[in-house]
Structure 1
Amino acid sequence: MLQHYKDAHLVLNWETCHFMVKEGIVLGHKVSSAGLEVDKAKINVISKLPPPTNIKGIRSFLGHAGFYRRFIKDFSKIARPLTKLLEKDIPFKFEDECQKAFELLKEKLTCAPVIVSPNWNLSFELMCDASNLAVGAVLG
């Protein structure tokens, strides 16, 4: 595999490349032979977040949570009370439904697995791609 990088004249940053490791952090989860566990440091930060008190706080929270949106079922529906506060000429009123949406998103970010281990009894394909700028992989 490394020969392909060399042939494509790609340079790897050896400080950020990790091969043959026993565990690592991926998308805020500790991945190891034991399966997936949450990264305690990330969970503590997210679980202690206070409710947003202004538009900037809503944007910040939704920006962070939005990174995981494809992994959270019905993300848009859950976040709707918060995104309504971002509409033009809407006064900032962080009411009960906003609080519920905020707490539910925090729960989903901290409790539910964002990525899941493959079922090793089923076949799957690892698709890799590289360009002059990046290397990517998808497990399908």
Structure 2
Amino acid sequence: MTHLLEKDTPFVFSEDCIQAFQTLKKKLTKAPILIALNWDLPFELMCDASDFAIGAVLGQRQEKLFRPIHYASKTLTSAESNYTMTEKEMLAVV
């Protein structure tokens, strides 16, 4: 579905897009469900990067299980895609 975000791309919600949307909807409405943050617990930030996108998950451990508080992701611009993998992962932190 990310190709729909590109400039001058006609909006065609194909069968692949519908399937991706249904999968995303299913994943986001089942465990792990987002939790409210607890200022008394330490935070954990997990970041990842690829050649075309970055992502991060902020969460906390409750009863030894990681619980997500917030998800973030972004496709990279053409300039950002030239960054080293380390720079891309640091961009995910920001």
* TM-score clears 0.5: no
Q: Which of the pair is proportionally richer in strand? A: 2
* Larger Rg computed on CA atoms: 1
TM-score by length of 1: 0.25
Q: Which of the pair is proportionally richer in helix? A: 1
